[in-house]
Amino acid sequence: MTTHKILLSAILLLLTSCNAKDNKGVETLEFPFVGNAEISILGDDLILPLITDLSVNDTVIIATGSLDNYWVHTYDKNSGDPIANHISKGQGPSDILGCTYLSKAKDGWKIYDYMSRKVKLYDKDFAFIRMSDKDSLPSLSIDCNLTALQILPSGKKICYIDKYENENLIFDGFIVADSAGYSKPFLNLHDEDQIGPLGYYMQYKFAGSPDGKKLAAVSSPGCYLKLFDTDGNNLILKSSHCYYPLTIKNPEDAALVYEDNKRSFTSLAVTDTRIIACMDEDPDNYGPTDILVWDWEGNPVCRYKSDKIIVKFALSPDNPDDLYAFVTDPERNYSLAKIKCRGLLN
């Protein structure tokens, strides 16, 4: 059996396991607790990048996104006022061509430049220190792009991979790497002729637990939540949860598929006990407004409703009820915000 057929069989088995949950393979989002998120807008008429990642420490909010030829931007945690811009776009040793994730290091930051496929180490104020050779990614046995990288506090690395041919996505998925090597890739094939709607379950967002033992990934569109165990350098699919299967009127028109299926996950964060994500459930909505929480068994725990569209969020380092977020409204007025969800991580 060819490698392609083996991978296809594995994915079809995954669908079968999801379908076993009910006749349609769909789970309902019924949360034992539903509350309201309390949102406070920070700053006044901020000029913000399209933020791809957020982090928060005791005093500042740190955001990644291209703005004024810089990749990293800091804001006062309490007022939202801009503080500084860091890390220029460029090909120099201290520069970055493209980044999507921030990874905290012991005394600073590790940032993966996906254009050069290099990990660079910066101090706590984003002054360049050196290339991080020990965090370099291994050579893989398959031809693919190493698109995004998250380096966990344990040193374990989680990498999102994909492959395109003639502008068509062939597969995407994950690998986990540590000092012992790297896992076999977990791949999602995108071959509409053979597996139909599954080919559109893509654009994964992912987050590894701080202890390095678990991984959560969410899809857009289609609303899949996949939970993995990371045993050493092995990546093991633990469960897959399907909430809104795709409606496909014309499989040859990808734009129409996304227009008909605006339900999707956006931002995602995890702790060692909880998974927190934002989801757009209404195809008529502009974007996701609610914060949803699961445990690592995939059981819904709590839900918080809001009146803002939450694009990206980060957990507070000092209050388990608080999030800091990049939010907008239907008129695309972007802001930084503090969001209080009472009992969020209880």
Q: Which tens digits make up the pLDDT trace of 110-162? A: 998 888 888 899 999 999 999 987 777 667 778 888 888 888 877 788 888 88
Q: What is the pTM of this model?
A: 0.83
The whole-number average pLDDT for the span 245-262 is: 69
Residue 35 has pLDDT above 70, yes or no: yes
Confidence band, pLDDT 50/70/90 cuts, at residue 188: confident
Mean pLDDT, the chain, as a whole number? 81
Confidence band, pLDDT 50/70/90 cuts, at residue 199: low
The tens digit of pLDDT for each residue in 158-173 reads 888 888 887 777 888 8
Which residue has tokens 């080919």?
A: 199
| pLDDT at 160 (0 to 100) | 86
- Mean pLDDT is highest, among 49-63, 233-247, 272-286, for 49-63
Confidence band, pLDDT 50/70/90 cuts, at residue 284: low
Q: Which amino acid does the sequence have at 318?
A: D
| pLDDT at 22 (0 to 100) | 45
